[in-house]
Structure 1
Amino acid sequence: MSPAPTPMPAPAAEPARTLAVRAINPKGFHMIACDVRGPETARRPIVCVHGLTRHRGDFEPLARALAGERRVVCPDLAGRGESDWLPDPSDYHVAQYNCDLTIVMAATCRGEVDWIGTSLGGLC
């Protein structure tokens, strides 16, 4: 009897492309960092937004798993991860995050998106 065939290893996931997206706030401009994985031509992109005290890395395992079939965009909200801090602390609010995320989606997505958000990321 011959030995069982050795399974082929899964192909290595492509590394994320980290983008710096220029956004606007009441005092000027700031940069939003985001990771993008998967083909640009994939069906509806998935945008993954972290909670209040977290960062885009929370979605790394999910993004790797989905990137073969979907475009996955994982931004850092302003003041978190590698994104810029806002000059005025009173500008940290859902309306500002929504403006930032709209700009991120305009830069990385086409048409409608699927949204995955935890905590604050679910409110945006």
Structure 2
Amino acid sequence: MVSERNRPYADAYWESRDGLRLHYRDYAGGADGRPPILCLPGLTRNARDYATVAERLAPDWRVLAIDFRGRGESQAAKDPMSYVPLTYLQDIEALLEDQKIDRFVAFGTSLGGIVTMLLASVERTRIAGTLLNDVGPEIEAAGLSRIRGYVGKNTWHPTWLHAARALADANADVYPDYTIEAWLAMAKRLYRLNSAGRIVLDYDMRIAEPFRVPGNEAGPDMWRTLDALAGRPALVLRGERSDILSEKTADAMALRLGGRAEVVTVPAVGHAPTLDEPTSIRAISRLLGKVLEPAPV
């Protein structure tokens, strides 16, 4: 077991505008003035999803891995109808204000990518670079249907191995090459041990309430929000087997983002790449290299 002293991050908190205590992991780094990297997870995920990528990038970069409200160590919302992208945007704006961050790189997976695009519409001049992980302005109907089928279902397991096997059964098409060790690692990211000794999902089941209302997944016209990222370093990662981001949408994103953007398909995975794949690692390195380059005149 890793002691608190030996952890590569510090647990830190900020307050939302409606008074919630929200959590992030702060991986210290970037002493040379590099902008910090904000890591925004998917709908049912949390800061642990970014542990490997954060440890890889620190100490060269400061990495802040976020728990959205109702996930991980962040407080659950009093009003479940606040579990929507526009509220998450306001929460991140409060974090930026709290930490006095005036320039940053945004990594957004799935829901986190939607929040990233919304951030671009209001914080364009502060965004130094963007990673959109298997998400875009248009979300495929099949993927949305699949997510609606499982989000908010309060399942539990007696052991970590049971949880891993359940994940393998449900997601074999998403990660066909995973071993039981990989499924166990995913279980540790998705679940927690509760006071009754059960392995339970680490999010407030009420996040499903607004998600099931058509239109709440993406808010406003997301193509217009994407346009705010045009001309800046950007990386669009797409899982080869994704049912959320189509190849057609990814190609259209590349055209609108311009010459400093790159679209990369991660082979043999669905929604969403974990950012630990060799293809993802190389693409992230290229993105951050562009962030460090002088802006074109």
Q: Could you list the per-position Cα deviations for residues 44-99 of structure 1 after superposition, in whole angstroms to 9, with x for gaps in the alignment?
A: 11000000000110000111111121110011000011100110111111111001
- Residue 16 (structure 1) aligned with residue 9 (structure 2): yes
Corresponding residue of 2:28: 38
- Residue 82 (structure 1) aligned with residue 73 (structure 2): yes
TM-score by length of structure 1 reads 0.81
For 1:40 and 1:64, locate their aligned partners in 2 and report how far apart those are by CA, in whole Å. Answer: 13
1:57 to 48, 72, 75: 48
For 1:106 and 1:16, locate their aligned partners in 2 and report how far apart those are by CA, in whole Å. Answer: 21
For 1:112 and 1:79, locate their aligned partners in 2 and report how far apart those are by CA, in whole Å. Answer: 26
For 1:116 and 1:35, locate their aligned partners in 2 and report how far apart those are by CA, in whole Å. Answer: 14
For 1:24 and 1:53, locate their aligned partners in 2 and report how far apart those are by CA, in whole Å. Answer: 22
Looking at secondary structure, tell me which structure has more helix per residue.
Answer: 2
CA spacing shift, 1:105–1:96, aligned 2, 3 Å: same
Q: How many residues align?
A: 109
Corresponding residue of 1:105: 96
TM-score by length of structure 2 reads 0.35
| Counterpart residue type for residue 67 of structure 1 | A
For 2:11 and 2:25, locate their aligned partners in 1 and report how far apart those are by CA, in whole Å. Answer: 4
Contact 1:14-1:37 within 8 A present in 2 as well: no
| Counterpart residue type for residue 39 of structure 1 | G
For 1:114 and 1:102, locate their aligned partners in 2 and report how far apart those are by CA, in whole Å. Answer: 14
| Counterpart residue type for residue 61 of structure 2 | R
| Counterpart residue type for residue 67 of structure 2 | D
Runs of at least 4 residues of structure 1 off by over 6 A?
Answer: none
For 1:24 and 1:119, locate their aligned partners in 2 and report how far apart those are by CA, in whole Å. Answer: 24
Shift of 1:103: 1.4
- SS of the residue corresponding to residue 65 of structure 1 reads helix
For 2:65 and 2:99, locate their aligned partners in 1 and report how far apart those are by CA, in whole Å. Answer: 10
Once the two structures are overlaid, the 10-residue window that deviates more, 66-75 or 109-118, is 109-118
Greater Cα radius of gyration, structure 1 or 2: 2
Contact 1:45-1:109 within 8 A present in 2 as well: no
Q: Does 1 or 2 have the higher relative contact order (CA < 8 Å, sep 6+)?
A: 1
Contact 2:96-2:102 within 8 A present in 1 as well: no
| Counterpart residue type for residue 86 of structure 1 | A
Corresponding residue of 1:4: none
For 1:69 and 1:31, locate their aligned partners in 2 and report how far apart those are by CA, in whole Å. Answer: 28
